[in-house]
């Protein structure tokens, strides 16, 4: 028992030391201010970096404690219990269990995917089934494209490979998958995905069910892999396999940024949980109470590679949240990095009259969503030197 207590105290001490170091990094970073500042347009040179005044001393745990209301809702309770434990209080760590032990009064009314998420959400370790064959360079890549994909989405992945996700100077693409071996209702395609991995060397797959509420888990596992295998990545774009990315324009924007942490995309500010039971984004009031933090839409957002390690540490300490981009927003905000909007990110698509227009897409950075044939056509058109806009 004393040995378990020793290891637990050591884990907490190491985590707090990491967060203290991160606090110093954020405090002296010119982009670490809590209020979002829009990114400059890609066609505009980045302004000179002016050091910001030192921020008041704040730590990630205190930010979270102030940001998430204390309430009887399940996730709120789990978070504050976890924060008390990390802060040396008498709280207990977040855990999974039966409906009775969770204290969720309307557990029986929860949709089955949410019940499964709550029951198994505390598990963070799953076997790595497939891994890219080529390592990242020690000092790169400049841009790591981490693309969330379902095992059966072969056409979407191939369209990305043949278009905006082409490996090139300073760009590396990896696809993030759950288990491809089926679950009784879906066929076992593990052999096909294994062949794809051997052919392209860009597939990351873990042994968990690939489901919407497991996107948070997918992101957590990616942070661990990237921190170990691509620690030199300058920037990371985490997005879906059905987005269209104007990679040259995005590279132009990122190359013009000054130092400091970046977290940018199509920012949702003032959002609240969806309470409609029929929505896949449904979050019951008994699960989470309060508004969401400002966050970048999960269709695609970009952040500094230097945040991979801090994000992994912080996210690993918190109870997971079923909506992955909301969870990411909580983590970034707790690190003192505000979500920064850019009009070139359109995760809710653009006007119907512009959806087939290469000129409209040439002016954007990322748009959601496009089918594989549309992606290939738009990529060819926006790169056509004869295109007149």
Query: Could you tell me the pTM of the whole model?
Result: 0.85
Structure tokens at 85: 């434990």
Q: How many helices (H) and strands (E) does the chain have?
A: 13, 11
User: How far is CA 76 from each of CA 17, 68, 268, 312, rounded to the nearest angstrom?
Assistant: 25, 7, 21, 21
Q: Residue 213 in contact with residue 118, Cβ under 8 Å? A: no
- Please report which helix (H) or strand (E) contains residue 239, including its range: strand 235-240
Going along 305-372, which residue ranges are E strands? Answer: 340-341, 345-346, 366-368
pLDDT, position 23: 47
Q: Is 38 exposed, middle or buried (0-12, 13-18, 19+ CB in 10 A)?
A: exposed
DSSP one-letter string for 187-225: ---HHHHHHHHHHHS-EEEESS---GGGHHHHHHHHHHH
What residues make up the domain containing 371? 57-67+107-383
DSSP one-letter string for 55-121: PPP--HHHHHHHHSPP-SSHHHHHHHHHHHHHTTSS--------HHHHT-TTGGGS-HHHHHHHHHT
Calpha distance 264→132 (Å, rounded): 27
In this predicted model, what pLDDT tens digit does every residue of 74-83 receive, in sequence order?
999 999 999 9
pLDDT, position 152: 97
Residue 328 lies in a domain: yes
Residue 48 lies in a domain: no
pLDDT, position 169: 80
Indicate which CATH number applies to the domain containing 263.
Answer: 3.90.550.50
Residue 89 zone, left/alpha/beta (φ > 0; ψ -120 to 50; rest): beta
Per-residue pLDDT of the chain (389 residues; tens, 9 = 90+): 444 444 445 444 444 444 444 444 444 333 333 345 566 554 443 333 333 322 232 478 889 999 999 999 999 999 999 999 887 544 444 444 444 446 788 999 999 999 999 998 889 999 999 999 988 998 989 999 999 999 999 999 999 999 999 978 899 999 999 999 877 778 999 999 999 999 999 999 999 999 999 999 999 999 999 999 999 999 999 999 999 999 999 999 999 998 889 999 999 999 999 999 999 999 999 999 999 999 999 999 999 999 999 999 999 999 999 999 999 999 999 999 999 999 999 999 999 999 999 999 999 999 999 999 999 999 999 999 999 99
Residue 98 lies in a domain: no
Of 105, 134, 130, residue with least CA distance to 192: 130
pLDDT, position 40: 57
pLDDT, position 42: 45
How many structural domains does the chain have? 1
Calpha distance 267→151 (Å, rounded): 28
Structure tokens at 61: 């745990």
pLDDT, position 39: 64
Residue 327 lies in a domain: yes
Residue 5 lies in a domain: no
Residue 87 lies in a domain: no
User: How far is CA 317 from each of CA 12, 42, 95, 131, rounded to the nearest angstrom?
Assistant: 9, 36, 12, 25
Residue 277 lies in a domain: yes
pLDDT, position 94: 46
Residue 23 lies in a domain: no
Query: How would you classify the pairing of strands 243-245 and 263-268?
Result: unpaired
């Amino acid at each position: 028992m004393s040995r378990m207590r020793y290891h637990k105290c050591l884990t907490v001490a190491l985590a707090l030391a990491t967060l203290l170091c991160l606090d110093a990094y954020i405090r002296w970073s010119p982009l670490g201010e809590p209020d979002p500042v829009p990114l400059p347009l890609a066609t505009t040179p980045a302004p000179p970096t002016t050091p910001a005044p030192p921020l008041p001393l704040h730590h990630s745990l205190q930010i979270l404690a102030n940001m998430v209301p204390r309430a009887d809702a399940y996730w709120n309770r789990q978070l504050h219990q976890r924060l008390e434990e990390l802060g040396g209080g008498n709280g207990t760590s977040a855990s999974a269990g039966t409906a009775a032990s969770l204290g969720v009064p309307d557990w029986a009314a929860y949709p089955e995917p949410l019940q499964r998420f709550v029951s198994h959400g505390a598990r963070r370790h799953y076997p790595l089934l497939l891994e890219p064959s080529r390592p990242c360079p020690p000092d790169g890549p400049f841009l790591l494209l981490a693309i969330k994909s379902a095992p059966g989405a072969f056409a979407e992945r191939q369209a990305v490979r043949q278009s905006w996700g082409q490996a090139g100077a300073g760009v590396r693409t990896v696809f993030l998958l759950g288990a491809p071996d089926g679950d009784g209702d879906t066929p076992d395609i593990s052999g096909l995905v294994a062949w794809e991995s051997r052919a392209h060397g860009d597939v990351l797959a873990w042994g968990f069910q690939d489901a919407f509420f497991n996107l948070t888990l997918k992101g957590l596992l990616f942070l661990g892999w990237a921190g170990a295998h691509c620690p030199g990545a300058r920037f990371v774009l985490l997005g879906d396999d059905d987005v269209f990315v104007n990679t040259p324009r995005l590279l132009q924007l990122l190359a013009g940024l000054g130092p400091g942490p970046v977290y940018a995309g199509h920012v949702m500010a003032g959002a609240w949980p969806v309470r409609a039971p029929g929505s896949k984004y449904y979050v019951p009031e008994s699960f989470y109470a309060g508004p969401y933090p400002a966050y970048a839409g999960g269709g695609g957002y970009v952040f500094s590679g230097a945040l991979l390690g801090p994000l992994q540490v912080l996210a690993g300490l918190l109870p997971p949240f079923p909506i992955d981009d909301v969870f990411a927003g909580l983590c970034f905000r707790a690190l003192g990095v505000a979500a920064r909007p850019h009009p070139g990110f359109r995760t809710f698509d653009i006007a119907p009259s512009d959806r087939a227009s290469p000129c409209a897409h040439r002016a954007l950075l990322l748009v959601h969503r496009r089918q594989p044939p549309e992606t290939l056509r738009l990529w060819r058109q926006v790169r056509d030197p004869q295109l007149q806009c």
